[in-house]
Chains A and B, each alone.
Chain A
């Protein structure tokens, strides 16, 4: 298995290059001169603009810019943002916060999603199942900016039972409501996935065999049905960790969380390729590691799968 993991790590190299090139190119191509934008609608002395362009390598052709950036990365130098601070500082500040938020969201969505999903699946077509269908539907149908706003408005402002914003204090308590908001859509997703998987598996032959063997229902459900139903769910949840980290732009904005989403959004609108790509690079690495973990979990869930 060690060899397997090494191979997987090696495979990350092309993915890493592909993703960074793609995103660097996309940000590079965005129209609008980022240096002129720094001046807003005020004038900018041409010589000053040229100096700034040279400082951020913006005066060089695309591939040169990209290669200079890659060269920096190899020496763990992520470049400087327009604010003059090293991008690595921003990475170190933003990632722990968002990682915490995303892990909380994933934990919440999987625990609740799987729990309710199993019950809905076992009682497929019954009232409980239908109620959950409606609930998950509402969650899917209401955009996250509405959910976030309502949660903040009612829980935070009106009733005062939860912190309104996170700000500089990214503690568990303060991140709880944002994590629930962030995980809500995926909760609905996990719920549906689990429910359908369970409903499918509960009539499978091996389950009947297990029941016939006289195993307790509890054991049949947890060991046999659940274990087999979790494969698609695990795939989803693993991939979701990465997606949530990069996709928390709206949630982070509403709750004033100083994480990856806000930093990325700002860097994109300002047109700072090095900052955008550095954040995406780290996202890619996290995403790939999460994937590896998912694949290893696969093997644990499905004994037929082996890695050599």
Chain B
């Protein structure tokens, strides 16, 4: 038997104190970085282009790799590695790439670098999150099943070092435009030996490369420096970028105000009222290709057929988008005028039938009454949303607007996480209207419409089935010129405005800010910084 003495207690206290003392020893890094510091978030996966589908990793991948095309700040596509992309039918393409490009390990970028990378991305056993982007390429069906029936897609053929051909299963004018999207980047030979290791220290051909030393400090930051061998149209104009990872935009904003962060691409909601005052001419705004919609499942009670159509229109007209944008977002949202975004090429804000998206309380009441004549309304109108995404305020404002205009019980149904609400949407068990949105992967209106409303699209969350719309959209995809495509897209959208499978609410204006250290900062079409042109 041993008695614990007071000495033991003091010893314990001493250990605690020592721990704290040690804690104080680490040094304070005071020196200001010569890199431009920009906000980011820890990439969710190793940086492999075909496996990066979130913008924490995406913003880094786009710096490290160069594709056939790139998009400038306005969203206009330019050839990057492509010498020429030729097609006569929007279905069979011959792609020539520029010679003499190299990866940062010195190996040349060839036609094979592209073809192999795409085949890697599409093969089911490689389990790449972005594999679906290759859906249109011939032979995708054989590689995308487990076990795969083929190792490579039959639609891809290497002709010589700088030429390869692509055959699609159906015409798509969007294919060429999408070639600047990350999954279409080439990979060096070295990648296939150990893709995980490659993803942690990628070898690319883009305007930047990993900085020397500990470039990627997990959960903290990732540094990239200009790649001197880059030969494309978007060379780095700064000495490097440091992506600083934040858990919330609120925190990042505090750092921006204190000049610890050079560029923040999203002003948090809590600062929207004051950021222009806080930052003065350092506040930056630009429209961006992002939408918020309220989806109405095709099988929702009271929302089918003629009755449903009237009710959807009534609800759309009952939402005072202007006022909600002012009250909740201080004008940083645009009232939606269509199903795409005003920042996209070919956008038309005056489509036939777009007045259904304008606030009209009298009209809304009338339409609702007409619907009631078909079958009287009962119950609540619920809008499901995830409370981890900052949607609560505007959903509440929308339900208040509906409630006050139509005199019905309209409420938001909060789901704790995106995962949960998503699960019920894809499982078709949600049983209520739901918030969803779309952010463009590349600047194209078709990229907003095809995945969400085409009958056979796996992500047609509202189960919209309209042969008329499908025909018009497919015609737009098969168009010969962008202009022709824009006209047909407009016709397809007019069908959507009539049927309202989802109710468009907002189109985003990205609001950003720069620190006093930065001399030039611009927002790109996708709401992120135009990273290459940031200067300090």
Contacts and interface: CB of A to CB of B under 8 A. Distances in A.
A301 B10 CA distance: 11
A59 interface: no
A153 B274 CA distance: 14
17 contacts: A90-B218, A104-B20, A153-B254, A157-B258, A165-B254, A168-B217, A168-B221, A169-B26, A171-B26, A253-B251, A254-B251, A256-B251, A256-B255, A258-B219, A262-B247, A269-B419, A306-B1
Contacts of A52: 127
Contacts of B219: 90, 93-94, 258, 262-263
Contacts of A303: 3
Nearest to B140: A45
Given A89-B218, A171-B28, A152 B254 contact: yes
Given A152-B254, A299-B4, 8 more contacts: A30-B420, A42-B459, A84-B45, A107-B17, A171-B28, A269-B419, A296-B8, A300-B9
Nearest to B451: A43
A38 B257 CA distance: 33
Interface residues of A, number: 74
Taking chain A's interface residues, is the majority helix, strand, or loop, or is none over half, making it mixed?
helix
Contacts of A297: 9, 12
Contact of A41 (B221, B245, B252, B437): B437
A241 to B, nearest CB: 9
A99 B218 CA distance: 18
A189 interface: no
B242 to A, nearest CB: 10
Contacts of B45: 82-84
A40 B260 CA distance: 31
Nearest to B30: A169
Q: Which of A103, A153, A256 has the most CB of B within 10 A?
A: A256
Interface in B447-506: 451, 457-459, 461
Interface string B241-264: 000111110111011011010000
B419 A37 contact: yes
B258 A42 contact: no
Interface string A195-237: 0000000000000000000000000000000000000000000
Contacts of A18: none
A293 B20 contact: no
A234 to B, nearest CB: 9
A43 B132 contact: yes
B220 A168 contact: yes
Interface residues of B, number: 75
A55 B127 contact: yes
Given A175-B23, A254-B250, A306-B1, A38 B129 contact: yes
Q: Which of A165, A254, A258 has the most CB of B within 10 A?
A: A165
B19 A103 contact: yes
A28 to B, nearest CB: 14
B246 to A, nearest CB: 6
B145 A47 contact: yes
Contact of B458 (A43, A84, A262): A43
A263 B130 CA distance: 25
A38 B131 CA distance: 13
Contact of B422 (A37, A89, A165, A167): A37
Interface in B1-18: 1-6, 8-9, 12, 16-17
Contacts of A42: 53, 130, 132, 451, 459
Given A44-B132, A168-B221, A269-B419, A307 B26 contact: no
Contact of A48 (B124, B252, B426): B124
Contact of B255 (A36, A37, A165, A171): A165
The 6 nearest A-B residue pairs measured at CB: A172-B24, A168-B220, A300-B9, A47-B124, A1-B2, A37-B419
Contact of A256 (B29, B247, B257, B388): B247
Contacts of B12: 293, 296-297
Contacts of B436: 41
A190 B119 CA distance: 62
A41 B129 contact: no
